[in-house]
Amino acid sequence: MKLLSTITTLAIATVGSSQSITKVNDFSGTPTNLGMYVYVPSNLKTPAPIVVAVHHCQGSAQGYSTESHYMPLATQHGFILIYPNSRSSGGCFDVSSDATLKHNGGGDSQTIVNMVKYAVDKYGGDANRTFVTGTSSGAMMTNVLLGAYPDVFKAGSVYSGVPDGCFAVPGSTATQDPPGWNNQCANGQTTKTAQAWGDQVRSYYPDYTGPRPRVQVWHGTADSTLRYPNYQETLKQWSNVLGLTTSKDTPNTPQSGYTMTIYGDGTATTAQLVGYSAQGVGHTVPVHEPQDLAFFGIA
C-alpha cells in the first residue's frame, strides 16, 4: 500500500514538474476522440479542485494553456487543470448536435466529463469541486456542460459565448467535421423568453432534480462573431434555471468600462449568477483568471 502511494505521488510530480501541459496518452478519448491535456502541480490539495479550460475555434489545448494564465495559479493553489483538445480540423467543439447537448448523449460534452472522471480517479481530484471555463467555442461548451451535467460541475465562467442550446443544428452529428454552425444564433438573432430558455436547459437532463451550477458570464459589446445580444439571452436563460428574478448593476467593475450585474443575493464571488458587460470589447473578452478562481471559491 505504501509502495502504491509512492508510485502515485511520483506520477503526479512528473505531470506537474514544469509549467507546461502534458498529454494524457492513456485517456481513451471516448466517445468522440478528444485529446486530454493536463497540468497537475506537485503541491495538490487533497482532494484537489478541478478546473476544465476549453479553447476557442482555431485554437488548441496547448495554445489556450498559454493564452490563459491558470497554470501559475494552479501551482499556487494546488488544483488540477484539464485542457480538452478539439478533434475537428477547425478546432471547434461540437455544441450543435443532440448528442453533445443531452446528458450522456455521446458527444464532446460527455468526453470532457470522462476527462473529469479520469482526473478524479488518477490524480485525486475532488468530484465535489469541479469547475469549467472557456472562450468562444469553449464558452459555448461551458454552457453546454453546465446544462447537461449539473451533477458534475459546480460553477462555470463563460467568455463570449451563446446560451445553452442556441447553437443547435437539426441533423448535426457528434462526429461531423466541422461541427454544426448556427448563423442565426451567432448573429444574436435567436431570442426567447427566460422561461423558454430555462425549459431548454432542463430538457437536456429531464430527470435531474438537484442543485444547479453557479454561472459567471462575460461578453463584449463590440463582439462581431458571437454578437452581443447573446449576452442578455444567456443571462435570461440562467436566471430562469437558477430561479432569480432581481438584479443589480455596478458600473466600472472589475475595471473601467465593465458593468457587473449580480442576480439575486450575494456578492461577485458568492452570487448564483454574475454578468460582466465589457464596453467596446470585441471577440473575445480577455480571461480574468483571478475573478474566475474567486467565483469558484478556489482563491
Residues labelled as active-site residues: 136
**The three three-digit cell numbers of residue 153, written as one number:** 460541475
How far is the C-alpha of 198 from the C-alpha of 220, rounded, in Å?
23
Q: Calculate the alpha carbon distances from 76 to 42, 83, 249 in Å.
A: 10, 18, 32
**The three three-digit cell numbers of residue 144, written as one number:** 453546454
- CB neighbours (10 Å) of residue 89? 8
Cβ atoms 15, 99 nearer than 8 A: no
Cβ atoms 82, 38 nearer than 8 A: yes
